[in-house]
Amino acid sequence: MPSLPANEYVEIRDGSRYYIAGTRIGLDVLVHAYRRGKTPETILDAYPSVGSLAKVYGAIAFILEHSRAVESYLREQEARWNEFREEHPLPDDMLDRFHRTQEELSRRSA
């Protein structure tokens, strides 16, 4: 991803990873939640460590203002994830538990 300026809502770590400022929540997590139609209020409820609704809105504004760069970043993150999964495959039973948990969390936040 082209280097983007950090701001009070989004920070860069390790030179290439974007997080909601002051949290361990990756920018990609917020992007995906927002694209799934979650409201800023729902996102804050799901990730209270963000700290405030203003931070959620600020991160969304960052995403909207830098949409091309964010798309590039998401592709990079997906490539990293795919590479990691190939190098470290999960056992089938663990993968099944993971998918069941994801489904349950999706139902709870709907």
Q: Give 10-residue mean pLDDT values along the chain (110 residues).
A: 72 88 94 95 96 96 92 90 88 90 84
Give the pLDDT score at 43. 96
Give the pLDDT score at 110. 66
Separation of alpha carbons 59 and 66, rounded Å: 11
Give the pLDDT score at 29. 94
Separation of alpha carbons 28 and 47, rounded Å: 13
Domain membership of residue 4 (yes or no) is no
Of 58, 18, 17, 14, the closest CA to residue 34 belongs to: 58
Domain membership of residue 79 (yes or no) is yes
| Two tokens, residue 39 | 């409201």
**Cross-strand bridge partners of residue 13:** 17
Which domain, by its residues, includes 22? 10-109
Domain membership of residue 2 (yes or no) is no
Domain membership of residue 73 (yes or no) is yes
Domain membership of residue 29 (yes or no) is yes
| Two tokens, residue 7 | 């701001």
Domain membership of residue 58 (yes or no) is yes
Domain membership of residue 5 (yes or no) is no
pTM of the model: 0.72
Separation of alpha carbons 59 and 43, rounded Å: 11
User: What domain count does the chain have?
Assistant: 1
Give the pLDDT score at 90. 82
Give the pLDDT score at 109. 73
Contacts of 67 (CB under 8 A, 6+ apart): none
Give the pLDDT score at 30. 95
Domain membership of residue 3 (yes or no) is no
